[in-house]
Amino acid sequence: MRTQGNCRTLNTTHPHIACSEEITITKVLAERLHATGVAEELTDLTKRELLAGIATVLLQGDEVVDEAFYGFSDIESRTPVRRDTIHRIFSNTKIITSVAMLMLYEDGKYQLDDPLVKYLPALDNLKVLKTGATDVNDTEALATPPTIRQAFTHTAGFSYGTFQESLVDRLFMETGVQDRNGTLEEMIDKLAGIPLARQPGTRWQYSIATDILARLVEVMSGETFADFLSTRLFQPLGMTDTGFHINDDQVDRLATLYAPIDMMDESKGLQPMSGMFSFDPTTPPAFCSGGGGLLSTISDYTRFVQLLIGHGEFQGQRLLQQETIDLMTDNHLADGLTVHLPGGMMQDHKFGLGVALKSSPSPGEPDGAVGEFHWAGIAGTHAWINRHYGIAGLAFTQRMPGFFHAFNQTFKRRAYEAIS
């Protein structure tokens, strides 16, 4: 099913869009998107059961140009994907956490280059695993303490545990750093006893740093992380279906999380996911993960994206200053550093304050894709904003692993085809 958003009449000098009072830019862009064949591509993915279902939204400025829904949120019950289908957004949580921290930056609560230990004294005795170490006790002293800026940019030296890249990752899993029954404060106490994977500022490494930012929100605001997000972001934006758990009246709208039956042969279809990523979302967690704990709908997250593409303003409310959005989307990596995800992904990216910054176009994208900022969740939720073209897009599905799969870029590539 495809529906088209409301349009407003605008004048434009875009070379591929005709200007007239009768034709709106949003209508023309929607028609150009349809002409790319994206609907047929995404429908085919669901028919072949590479995806159960997927929802997409395209914005021009803060206007919804197009929204579309394909396939099912649950294959067995044949429940269709809708705009109010609830998704586990995993690492799409990170951009929200970063915005929360930037609100506190505007409140004067910290400076970007403040050391973490200034606000988290439990981290006052961190060590660093030596290069080439074969034992977790083979450590060295910090050359410089990790800073808030480095936590935003994943260069503070921390690891994650999930991707098992080093001895430190094993300690993360053994210690239960992200125990859903623990608190953010307890997470910091556990991190204090684990060496950093590398010296701060020397390499980009995907990490638990955004969860550390979530704890900083609590320390600096005096509120729980969940309460701060609710008061400062979700309520003003009208994000009524976004939170760290769902209520009984929301359960029927929760999408099933799927994974391939056979990772080596995806033609065999999908099965419900089990294991570490399939947490019970009906139970309020003690650990409100700033790095990956939120559930949301594509409708709610569109409102958050409208705040970003609106330079910090949403429906007449200013929640962030434009200068802060500019700061967020500037490159904050030191010279010579680039994003380094497992498998060598995204090495054509720099990094801002909680967002990846595209520094060269991906295959099939125009030169104007450079400067796009974005992030995604491991189950296939993705949001991106391109201020050069004034467009933004979202694609939400529930398929593990999603971020690393080619389908993740299909909608964005077709959106660029429509605008260029």
Report how far apart, in Å, the C-alpha atoms of 207 and of each of 159, 203, 211, 291, 292 are.
4, 11, 9, 9, 11
**Rounded distance, CA 189 to CA 121, Å?**
10
Least confident of 22-31, 102-111, 115-124: 22-31
DSSP labels, 325-382 = HHHHTS--SPTT-----GGGTTTTEEE-SSSEEESSPPTT--GGGTT-EEEE-TTSEE
The per-residue pLDDT for 275 is 76
Tokens encoding 38: 């994206």
The per-residue pLDDT for 25 is 63
Q: What are the boundaries of each domain within the chain?
A: 99-225
Express as a percent the part of the chain with pLDDT over 90: 84
* Count of H-run helices and E-run strands, the chain: 12, 17
Q: pLDDT grade, residue 13 (50/70/90)?
A: very low
Tokens encoding 55: 């929802």
Least confident of 43-52, 231-240, 303-312, 399-408: 399-408
Task: Give 2 or 56, the one with higher predicted confidence.
Answer: 56
Return the residue matching tokens 């979530």: 214
Which stretches of 286-357 are DSSP H helices?
A: 298-309, 322-328
Instruction: Convert the pLDDT of each residue in 279-323 to its tens digit.
Output: 889 999 999 999 999 999 999 999 999 999 999 999 999 999 999
Those residues whose C-beta lies under 8 Å from the C-beta of residue 202, and which sit 6 or more positions away, are 155, 157
Pairing of strands 2-4, 258-260: unpaired
Instruction: Convert the pLDDT of each residue in 160-214 to its tens digit.
Output: 987 767 899 999 999 999 999 999 999 999 999 999 999 999 999 999 999 999 9
Those residues whose C-beta lies under 8 Å from the C-beta of residue 185, and which sit 6 or more positions away, are 215, 218
- Average the pLDDT over 140-167 and give the result: 93
Residue 165: helix, strand or coil by DSSP? coil
- Average the pLDDT over 337-345 and give the result: 81
In words, the CATH class of domain 99-225 is alpha beta
Kindly tell me if the per-residue pLDDT of 247 is higher than 50: yes
Peptide bond before 146: cis, by omega within 30 degrees of 0?
Answer: no
Instruction: Convert the pLDDT of each residue in 70-93 to its tens digit.
Output: 999 999 999 999 999 999 999 999
Return the residue matching tokens 């961190």: 126
**Rounded distance, CA 352 to CA 155, Å?**
11
User: Which residue type, as a one-letter code, is found at position 292?
Assistant: G
- Average the pLDDT over 103-125 and give the result: 98
Kindly tell me if the per-residue pLDDT of 11 is higher than 80: no
The per-residue pLDDT for 70 is 97
Residues in the chain: 420
User: Which residue type, as a one-letter code, is found at position 265?
Assistant: D
Structural contact between residues 92 and 356, judged by C-beta atoms closer than 8 angstroms: no
E strands, 142-269, are 258-260
Kindly tell me if the per-residue pLDDT of 403 is higher than 80: no
Structural contact between residues 121 and 381, judged by C-beta atoms closer than 8 angstroms: no
CA dihedral 390, 1, 279, 219 (to 10 degrees): 30
Instruction: Convert the pLDDT of each residue in 29-64 to its tens digit.
Output: 999 999 999 999 999 999 999 999 999 999 999 999
CA 136 to chain centre: 31
Kindly tell me if the per-residue pLDDT of 27 is higher than 80: yes
Best CA proximity match to 295, nearest among 239, 248, 249: 239
Express as a percent the part of the chain with pLDDT over 70: 93
pTM: 0.93
- Average the pLDDT over 85-112 and give the result: 98
Point out which residues pair with 315 in neighbouring strands.
Answer: none
